[in-house]
Amino acid sequence: MEPGADKLKNDELSCTGMSGSDDGRVRFEKPDMDWIRESGMLCADMHFHTNHSDSFTTVKDALALAKKRDVGLAITDHNLVAGSLEAKDLNKDYGRFLVPGIEISSWDGPHILVYFYTFDEMREYWQKSVKPHMSGNPWLAINKGTEWILDSLEDVNCVVSAAHPLGYLGSVKGVQKAIDAGVLEKDVVDRLDAYEVICSGMFHNENIGALRHAREYGIGFTGGTDGHLLSELGRVLTVSEATDLDGFLDDIVKQRNTVVGREKHIPKKFVMGATSMTRFGMHLPSAAHRKMQIAANHGTKNYPEKGKRLQRSQADGIIQHTDGPPH
């Protein structure tokens, strides 16, 4: 048994309720669709990408598979809402439970999942607060930092969740990773409704860590595949006893929902990563744009200068710390 395996197993038992210390609202297992259907509950994969951002999956194919698997869906493309709006328009032929959503990539690292109560509210927010700050490659980080994004959401009717809080790898694409690296202050969590506690793109110990932190902060749970391959859709679900979208999102905030699913196998993680990078490669290289972002944000609250100065390549998401100025 590898070092720390006993502790990890105990943490998992506690987090899933098998030890009796939790209510079992997060379950690392294959979703039981018979149980969900028979209980009449709503469920949705709350983190899925289409060819409107860094996936080759069409909205039509996503809806068709969602219908086949009898699951709901939140299309959360990077910085874009066209895929979510297309799903709304096509859904009359599929009858799926849809959650209006977007994944906003902040330039200082973290990715923020935002879920809206109506598609109109989503569109209005995007036009006002995201579209004006997008880069040449719309899927890369916008020209605003995490705290600015959270400021922009203060008076918006929405639910805010931190995507993959401890990932990915050496990057600070998760809020908790950014906190641990000194890029963000811990109190930023007070402005979130939830952590994504099962993201199938993450490793199991990272999801366990995200869940542990969410419980420590007393915030809600969401779960989704972060799917970039069609076959991934619905492998992680957020489940609620609500009967409509309002109640579904309210349950996340009030911590009454369940998250169930499992991480994907390592070979599929590599395939997903290759798919995403191929799509990114269809745009011009981002190195020049990244230097422009550094220059434009120097000296502002968007500049990650807490503790060590941070440089992060938008292309690969790897962090590098330096004592000198960016170059």
* CA-closest candidate to residue 86, choices 97, 72, 100: 100
Task: Say what the pLDDT of residue 317 is.
Answer: 36
* CA-closest candidate to residue 122, choices 160, 67, 165, 71: 160
Q: For residue range 180-231, what is the model confidence (pLDDT) as tens digits?
A: 999 999 999 999 999 999 999 999 999 999 999 999 999 999 999 999 999 9
Q: For residue range 146-166, what is the model confidence (pLDDT) as tens digits?
A: 999 999 999 999 999 999 999
Task: Say what the pLDDT of residue 139 is.
Answer: 82
Calpha distance 155→136 (Å, rounded) = 28
> Would strands 158-162 and 194-199 be described as parallel, antiparallel, or unpaired?
parallel
Question: Which regions in the chain score pLDDT beneath 70?
Answer: 1-23, 266-327
Task: Say what the pLDDT of residue 318 is.
Answer: 33
Task: Say what the pLDDT of residue 85 is.
Answer: 98
Task: Say what the pLDDT of residue 133 is.
Answer: 96
DSSP secondary structure, 271-321, as one string: HHHHHHHHHHHTSPPSHHHHHHHHHHHTTSTTS--SSSEEEE-TTT--EEE
Domains of the chain: 7-281 (3.20.20.140), 289-322 (no CATH)
Task: Say what the pLDDT of residue 170 is.
Answer: 76
Question: Are the CB atoms for 83 and 106 separated by under 8 Å?
Answer: no
